[in-house]
A = this chain, B = another copy of it.
Amino acid sequence: MQPTPSIENYVRKYVDLNDEELAHFASAFKEVKVKKRQFLIQPNFVARHRYFVLKGAVRAYVVAEDDQDNTIQLAIEEWWISDYNSYMFQQPASMFVMAVEDSTLLQISFEDEQRLKASNYKYETFFRMIAERAAAFMQRRVITSLTMSAEQRYDLLIEKYPEMANRFPQYVIASYLGMTTEFLSRIRKQKLRSKG
């Protein structure tokens, strides 16, 4: 597995910061450790932070009327996670965000993020870029859900994010892909059969 990522290396992929800026940027984040099954965000509470995963695996999900959970986001090392509707607009959350493994995260509060962005142009650019990437990512997900069958969506996940399939239990992957655990199980069985 890769070495533990750092927020400094990450932010440098997007904007060119000098050492002082890097240190300033990083100082807005606080490291938090969470145990498996611990909640970071719960419905009806305002999401006060967004999280950058240093180590571990986290998922965000909503619980529908029929008690099924639907996974909205998955995050492993170097991914961000939060209830963005709640975080960005500081409104009550609709999601649970929960650690799936013992995890180490960097959290930034909404207020500190605002301060960062106000203090330096480049930070604003950085957050603009990750928001654009998030929008593009979500749009690709809309496209796959509109155009592909359950099996195709699973194949695509395996192809593009093979790591994810190993780090999260099957029922989480299934609910992320918009199908039932049982159906994903059948899809996988059929693949085993045809591949050997």
Q: In the complex the two chains form, is A135's CB within 8 Å of B62's CB?
A: no
**Copies of this polypeptide in the complex:** 2
- Please tell me if A124 contacts chain B, counting CB pairs below 8 Å: yes
- Please tell me if A145 contacts chain B, counting CB pairs below 8 Å: yes
Q: In the complex the two chains form, is A145's CB within 8 Å of B142's CB?
A: yes
Across the two chains, which residue of chain B brings its CB closest to A88? Answer: B132
Q: Which B residues are CB-close (under 8 A) to A127?
A: 128
- Please tell me if A89 contacts chain B, counting CB pairs below 8 Å: yes
State which residues 106-143 of A face B: CB under 8 Å: 117, 121, 124-125, 127-128, 131-132, 134-136, 138-143
Size category of the A interface is 20 to 34
A contacts with B: majority SS: helix
Q: In the complex the two chains form, is B70's CB within 8 Å of A147's CB?
A: yes
* Docked pose: A20 CA to B131 CA in angstroms: 28
For this complex, 23 residue pairs linking A to B, each with C-beta atoms less than 8 Å apart, are A62-B143, A62-B147, A68-B147, A70-B143, A70-B146, A72-B139, A72-B142, A72-B146, A84-B132, A84-B136, A85-B140, A88-B136, A89-B136, A121-B121, A121-B124, A124-B124, A131-B135, A138-B139, A138-B141, A138-B142, A141-B142, A142-B142, A145-B146
* Docked pose: A120 CA to B94 CA in angstroms: 35
Write the nearest CB–CB distance from A135 to chain B, whole angstroms.
4
Pairs of residues from A and B, 6 with the lowest C-beta to C-beta distance, nearest first: A138-B138, A128-B128, A131-B131, A135-B135, A70-B146, A134-B135
